[in-house]
Amino acid sequence: MEKLNKIGLPVVLLVMFTIIGIMKSAVNIGYGEAGVLFRTFGEGTVVDEPPLGEGFHIIAPWNSVYLYNVKQQEVFESQMQVLSSNGLEISLDVSVLYQPVASELGLLHKTKGSNYLDIVIVPSIRAVARSVVGRYTPEQLYSTKRDAIQSEIYDELKDGVESQHVQINAVLVRDVTLPQTIKQAIERKLSQEQQSLEYEFRLESARKEAEKVRIDAKGKADANRILNSSLTTNILRDKGIEATVKLSESANSKVIVIGSGKDGLPIILGNQ
């Protein structure tokens, strides 16, 4: 019995260590994740090999795997205080869609670590937002330039972080909040400009209507002038003869010819 105990204890210990070793060696990587391998007795963080993909992996029990979310993620920066071109304080809400560059995950882990959002992206958002907004006046930010600043923040942020193994997919400017007094002044100015545009539109409409009346009147005058110049004495006599013939042929008229009318035309009186 004592001999069996001496043999059984090492076996139990061996089985336990084997189980622990298997558990330490087994790595399961979920969907949308990737793993960076760290070799304890080697070069440390592996940067010259692709990261471990989704699924089950076996590694040496003395090594480690650091998991990263490689799906698209969003960071929302609310009420960032930035200055306009004339020094007024503007509040800006910005969302940024980002993800780590999967093929460069080892370099990201080695140079920035898993907290790369706070180390790389958030400081870059704030710096770029201040730089871009500082080029515009509050009026431009309020009315016409939101799309422009959104595009500029995206371009500059993308250029600034791409060398740090992070990919920027989109920038969305959610809100631009101006000081209340500035906002009211801008709204009054825009209202006045709108009223001025409406007045100019009414003046232009009246001018076009007057021009139309003038053109119509000129056309009628030209037509009358052409008609008057074409009505010769002979034409008028012929028209009178045609009218006289038609009137004389009317079944409802009693015709009496009395002498002669102007231009030699008979005077025809008729009454039923």
Q: What is the DSSP string of 189-230?
A: HHHHHHHHHHHHHHHHHHHHHHHHHHHHHHHHHHHHHHHHHH
Among 178, 198, 222, the domain-final residue is: 178
Among 36, 69, 102, the domain-final residue is: 69
In a domain, 22, yes or no: yes
With CA atoms as reference, report the closest residue to 93 among 136, 150, 135, 134.
150
Gap between the Cα atoms of 150 and 173, Å rounded: 6
**223 and 201 co-located in one domain:** yes
- Positions of the chain with pLDDT lower than 50, given as ranges: 4, 258-259, 272
pTM: 0.60
With CA atoms as reference, report the closest residue to 21 among 65, 66, 58, 57.
58
Domain span at residue 103 reads: 73-178
**151 and 196 co-located in one domain:** no
Gap between the Cα atoms of 112 and 66, Å rounded: 13
- DSSP secondary structure code for residue 71 in this structure: S
**93 and 120 co-located in one domain:** yes
For residue 231, the model assigns a pLDDT of 58
For residue 59, the model assigns a pLDDT of 85
**218 and 195 co-located in one domain:** yes
Q: Specify the residue for token string 């500059």.
A: 156
**171 and 208 co-located in one domain:** no
Number of domains in the chain: 4
In a domain, 235, yes or no: no
**136 and 102 co-located in one domain:** yes
